[in-house]
Amino acid sequence: MVTTGTFSVLGTVTAYFYHTLCFKQTDGFTVTVHADPEVPLIGQGLMLSCHLIGKIPTNFQVHWYKWERNKNMTLYFYNSTSNGSELVRAWDEHRSITPKGWYENGIVKVRLFPVQAEDRGQYVCAVTGDNVYQEAIAEVIIAGFGSTPRLIIEQQQNNSTTLRCTSHGWYPLPEVLWTDSTGQNISTMAETRIQKSVTELYEIDSTLRVADIASDIISCTVINPLLKKHRENVIAISVRVQHRVKSLNVEAEHETITAVIGENIILPCRLITKHVPPSMELQWRKEDDKCPMGYLSPNGSNSREWLRKEYEKKAEVFKGKEFGKGNISLKLNNIQVEDTGKYICSATSNIFHREIIIEVVFGGVGNETSLQVHQQKICGYECKWTGWYPKPRFSWRNHKGESLNS
């Protein structure tokens, strides 16, 4: 509850980030605050905006500050008679870039960069002038989306494996989730320590001991409950699964394919494995194209196929028995010059990645040459050809095979 004089208003909290309190209007003048982004991440920038709405006093001052129990910390102070003045925060010893503030068209903005965990809290924009006082309060909540967990096998003995999962840079307090290959939550078996670093961000150190026969694959997931986002890492702990991964590969009979314009070609690629890992995805893409041409996800009843619209008539993949044999080759129809380049066939799962590059080069074999004789005082010959790619070489020879090029 905030009170000014005899007037009080209860603030309203909006999704995760801020609430705005507008005080008693005086002569049609009010103040509101806005923030961008709503939930700033550690290391990003944060823009606080104070909007002066209605009949703005002739002479006024705007004071942006962070409310603290012991002492309010000034971010920026603007005086309409002196065109504003910027104050450095004394408490900001570790920030390499001080807050920047400015006034423009009834809006006073302050930019904080980079955002740190200590920047969470209440920020007040107070406007005074001509016997008017208005203020608005923003409650800033910071989030840290930490590092991808580092998951290692720390020890293997007596038919058991000890795993260690570490991560850093999280805020607020994260959650740690361990799961096995069936997706079952086995977090109760883990010993997890979460502590704050000197930068007030949370660090995770979690260990899990499992029997080798319990599960082939273990995952460690760290969750930010505020962002509802997570980072995950997966590890294969049994020798059997590690052997499967090592024995899995993609290969091609030929790594260079010579194509003729207008014809169809097959880019060979074969998946070599006796076991299809979970969540495996087979993908084709052109090397200079960031987006895949298409993919296959062969997971039993959940198998699916996708092909980019522009390749619906251009490309085809093998299905049925051929696919079952590991044939993941790509067929390209009606080859044109722009189809030249390198194509990547890849197989990816959460525990491995394999790929091979196939290069397509062109050899347009043109029509038969046409030879015409022009007979005047001397005999002249004219040779014509079309449809060749790349640019062909040519030569003139007599009936003895001797070169006539000169």
245-362: CATH topology: Immunoglobulin-like (2.60.40)
Question: Of 277-281, 297-301, 359-363, where does mean pLDDT reach its minimum?
Answer: 297-301
Architecture of domain 2-140: Sandwich (2.60)
* More reliable by pLDDT, 24 or 308: 308
Which range is least confidently modeled, 87-101, 167-181, 223-237, 330-344?
A: 87-101
- 30 pLDDT tier (thresholds 50, 70, 90): very high
- CATH architecture of the region 150-237: Sandwich (2.60)
Q: Is 328:271 a contact under the CB 8 Å cutoff?
A: yes
% the chain with pLDDT above 70: 69
Higher-scoring residue by pLDDT: 255, 17: 255
Say how far apart CA 62 and CA 76 lie, in whole Å: 8
Q: Which residue has the higher pLDDT, 52 or 322?
A: 52
pLDDT, tens digit, for every residue of 99-126? Answer: 788 888 899 999 988 889 989 999 999 9
Which pLDDT score, from 0 to 100, does residue 405 have? 64
Using pLDDT thresholds of 50, 70 and 90, give the confidence band for residue 171: very high
Q: Where are the domains of the chain?
A: 2-140, 150-237, 245-362
Confidence of residue 314 (pLDDT cuts 50, 70, 90): confident
Kindly report the average pLDDT of the chain as a whole number: 77
**Residue 322: phi, psi to the nearest 5?**
-65, -45
Whether the domain at 150-237 and the domain at 245-362 fall into the same CATH topology: yes
Asked if the model's pLDDT at residue 10 lies above 50, the reply is no
pLDDT of residue 211: 77
pTM value?
0.53
Q: Reduce the DSSP state of residue 269 to 3 states and report it.
A: coil
The DSSP line for 183-194 is --B-GGGEEEEE
Of the candidate ranges 7-11, 207-211, 212-216, 226-230, the one whose mean pLDDT is the lowest: 7-11
With a cut of 50, say whether residue 177 has pLDDT above it: yes
The phi and psi torsions of 258 (rounded to 5 degrees) equal -95, 120
pLDDT score, position 132: 87
Pair 208, 152: CB distance under 8 Å = no
Question: Does the pLDDT value for residue 369 go beyond 60?
Answer: no
Mean pLDDT of 383-397: 65
In angstroms, rounded to a whole number, what is the distance separating the alpha carbons of residues 43 and 385?
Answer: 64
Instruction: Please report the pLDDT score of residue 363 as a whole number.
Output: 66
Instruction: Record the tokens describing residue 261, joined without a space.
Output: 């314009």
Higher pLDDT, 331 or 11: 331
pLDDT at 332 over 60: yes
C-alpha to C-alpha distance for 277 and 353, rounded to whole angstroms: 11
* Mean pLDDT on 126-143: 92
According to DSSP, residue 241 is labeled: H
User: 241-277, pLDDT tens digit by residue?
Assistant: 455 555 567 787 777 888 888 889 999 988 887 666 6
Q: Which SS3 state, helix, strand or coil, does residue 242 take? A: helix
Beta strands in 113-228 (DSSP E): 121-129, 132-140, 150-157, 160-170, 175-179, 190-196, 202-211, 217-224
